[in-house]
């Protein structure tokens, strides 16, 4: 099995976990962490965001826990089944916090732009990349600066 197949399996498992968990009645702590996982998955698959393949692979690699069918607390146990998953999300989402914040700002900007254009009677899909590329470039630059400020010019998960 190739590494790209492994990453695809990891991604599928994480998506499945989010889907199943969102159907359950979860404590707020757990639900909030699993929403962070959903944001990470959206970020790695958003072609408008333009994440590098290396960054994408590192995030998915950090999600290997979700591809294991047997985890610390079985997900089917009411109330606590997703607690271990939520704790793991909390751990893996700390390192790319700057990237997650920038991505959330980017998605909000794109939504505002679409609403503005619709309000002006224009089609939002027209030259979308041209409208959002400056904002994306600004946010990617902010991420790079934050990495340098942290004396860490690479995007690395210490759990790997």
Specify the residue for token string 């995030």. Answer: 59
Token pair 């704790």 is found at 87
92: burial class by Cβ within 10 Å (0-12, 13-18, 19+)? buried
Cα angle 144-36-149, degrees, rounded to a multiple of 5: 20
Matching residue, tokens 């089917």: 76
- In this structure, what are the phi and psi dihedrals at residue 87, rounded to the nearest 5 degrees? -65, -40
Which pLDDT value is given to residue 104? Answer: 94
Pairs from 131-140 (Cβ < 8 Å, separation ≥ 24): 132/48, 132/106, 135/106, 135/109, 135/110, 136/48, 136/49, 136/50, 136/106, 139/102, 139/103, 139/105, 139/106, 140/50, 140/102
Per-residue pLDDT of the chain (160 residues; tens, 9 = 90+): 455 558 888 888 888 888 877 787 888 888 888 888 888 889 988 989 988 888 888 888 888 877 666 777 777 777 777 788 888 888 877 778 889 999 999 999 999 988 888 888 887 776 666 778 989 999 999 988 887 766 544 444 443 3
For the entire predicted model, the pTM comes to 0.71
Q: How far is CA 47 from CA 33, 50, 110, in A?
A: 24, 5, 13
Instruction: Take residue 57 and report the two structure tokens written for it.
Output: 């692979």
Q: What's residue 1's pLDDT?
A: 45
Q: At what angle do helices 3-22 and 28-45 cross, to 10 degrees?
A: 140
């Amino acid at each position: 099995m190739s590494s790209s197949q492994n990453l695809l399996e990891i991604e599928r498992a994480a998506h499945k976990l989010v889907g199943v968990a969102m159907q359950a009645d979860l404590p707020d702590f757990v639900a909030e962490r699993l929403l962070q996982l959903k944001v990470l998955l959206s970020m790695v698959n958003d072609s408008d965001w333009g994440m590098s393949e290396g960054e994408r692979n590192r995030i998915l690699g950090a999600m290997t826990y979700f591809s294991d069918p047997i985890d610390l607390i079985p997900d089917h146990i009411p109330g606590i089944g997703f607690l271990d998953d939520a704790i793991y999300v909390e751990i893996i989402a700390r390192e790319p916090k700057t990237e997650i914040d920038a991505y959330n700002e980017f998605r909000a900007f794109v939504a505002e732009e679409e609403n503005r254009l619709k309000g002006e009677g224009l089609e939002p899909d027209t030259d979308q990349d041209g409208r959002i590329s400056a904002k994306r470039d600004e946010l990617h630059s902010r991420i790079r600066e934050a990495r340098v400020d942290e004396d860490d010019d690479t995007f690395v998960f210490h759990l790997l």
